[in-house]
Structure 1
């Protein structure tokens, strides 16, 4: 099972963390659905589960949920490199699937958070895949989670294995990640998805990792930067994340990451028809009341570091 849902005890904690009131959440859901119907620039969208995930990610603030949904549909139109041609059987995505592991772990931490582990599948191979395709795949998994995190989670915890970031292959890797591409991806993640990013842990780090962190820091808010922890050893990681939700390769008990990742890639492929059916689920700026949003409104001038807003 790719996503184990929270236990009864975890659910109590998660509902408190997300400000979820079982007596009013259905009313909130209907409010958002009615609001969506009145927005001429937004698509017809009556996916209750995805809307509820947005409500939970916004801690049931109706105004924040509206803003987040508006940005979600806007980004789907504005960034075709991430949201168009999302066929998981395409050569570009198949290549990425072979070269990286990016699976959410099946279980949750005791406080109801989902752990996502990211690493290269082969440390001896310089990534040949397209960077935009890799980011597209991450967002595709994010869309699946919008549908399948049916009880919600109290936030996300990322573990980045930086073993592949060595001085020997740094130039070959970093050349694929332009500032413009990084900015677009981080704006999509932080502004368009109901993500509650709680912790970022980096393991197996070499000295070059500081350079990589400094590359992305201008695109994220200070409170997120303060959540980045570089670990010197695995014992340090275990103090932050229980072994029960880590894969075997990192001393955990959640199963081996190869099998977990393979299950996820099969799940992504099983969504092929759904992804293709979602191609037109995006904003139409020509119908937006008032002034349409432009590329500069969304991303700033090319090369500029627009400050992001994230809950």
Structure 2
């Protein structure tokens, strides 16, 4: 559905007015000063020669919320967001869900944000593969799709939630898949998500865990901030997951009552296709290092790509 140039739908339930009050407290959002903070960020953005002159209020407010209304943190994160869009073209160009390579990935994996919210007002996303016997998929394209979903949420889908919860289903993960992981692309993705997106990652839950999961977590932890490392929970059964994520938020495939995971995924794949013109228009929205005051960003320094990655060790 298109309205006034924007794609509108009702896929994601938003916080109730009562819950919004609690979320605002958690995010340090003062309704009496937030418009002033927003204007400050808009004026700052217009003075940065290497960044886009203007950006819509909705996304800027989301960045402020993600930074707990710290103006300096918001500026750093916005600068990094536009910088990443130039630094990692493999994530931010050719974002067209109609392309054969992206369509193929949509048939072997699912990763939709769920429509409901936890009692705390957090958005839950479940990510899972569907077939253990497939070849290792193109991780760069999988990460591209994940960031496409993130940008849609940033653009129009969220009015302010209390954070994100990710449920990662490890049931189809195999040593053969892990052995072919490119650590460089993983680090780029994790740096991008942690430094450039206004995401408040509250919990990561790994379900259907096997002994291989411990190896994967140990390998990826050096790429994560300490507070995120401490928020990873591994579950041997779904009953322990329910202590964190209520069943009325989860899909039927995970013992919940919210609907079918496959239906949610199909809705999001269609949404990604509907946004194709928007993604195309957004390709030019990025930092221009030739205009940055002072020293241009060195992308290798940005990602720490110094060849020091640990080798994968799989039993």
Q: Report what 2:312 is aligned to.
A: none
Alignment partners' CA distance in 1, 2:276 and 2:234: 36
Q: How large is the RMSD of aligned CA atoms in angstroms? A: 1.3
Aligned-residue offset at 1:149 = 4.1
Q: Report what 1:145 is aligned to.
A: 153
Alignment partners' CA distance in 1, 2:104 and 2:272: 14
Q: Does 1:63 align with 2:72?
A: yes
Q: Does 1:43 align with 2:52?
A: yes
What SS is found at the alignment partner of 1:72? helix
User: 1:127–1:114: structure 2 CA closer, same or farther, 3 Å change rule?
Assistant: farther
Point out where structure 2 has 5 or more consecutive residues left out of the alignment.
1-9, 310-315
Aligned-residue offset at 1:291 = 0.7
Aligned-residue offset at 1:239 = 0.8
Alignment partners' CA distance in 2, 1:204 and 1:152: 31
Alignment partners' CA distance in 2, 1:151 and 1:127: 38
**Is the Cα–Cα contact under 8 Å of residues 102 and 118 in structure 1 kept in the other structure?**
yes
**Is the Cα–Cα contact under 8 Å of residues 17 and 154 in structure 1 kept in the other structure?**
yes
Q: TM-score, normalised by structure 1?
A: 0.93
Q: Report what 2:168 is aligned to.
A: 160
Alignment partners' CA distance in 1, 2:47 and 2:141: 34
**Is the Cα–Cα contact under 8 Å of residues 130 and 176 in structure 1 kept in the other structure?**
no
Q: Does 1:115 align with 2:115?
A: no
**Is the Cα–Cα contact under 8 Å of residues 132 and 173 in structure 2 kept in the other structure?**
no
Q: TM-score, normalised by structure 2?
A: 0.92
Alignment of 1:236-251 (within 5 A): 236-251=240-255
Q: How many residues are aligned here?
A: 300
Alignment partners' CA distance in 1, 2:199 and 2:270: 24
Alignment partners' CA distance in 1, 2:279 and 2:43: 25
Alignment partners' CA distance in 1, 2:151 and 2:223: 22
Alignment partners' CA distance in 2, 1:14 and 1:244: 20
Alignment partners' CA distance in 1, 2:132 and 2:195: 35
Q: Does 1:208 align with 2:212?
A: yes
Alignment partners' CA distance in 1, 2:273 and 2:135: 21
Alignment partners' CA distance in 1, 2:157 and 2:263: 20
Alignment partners' CA distance in 2, 1:94 and 1:103: 15
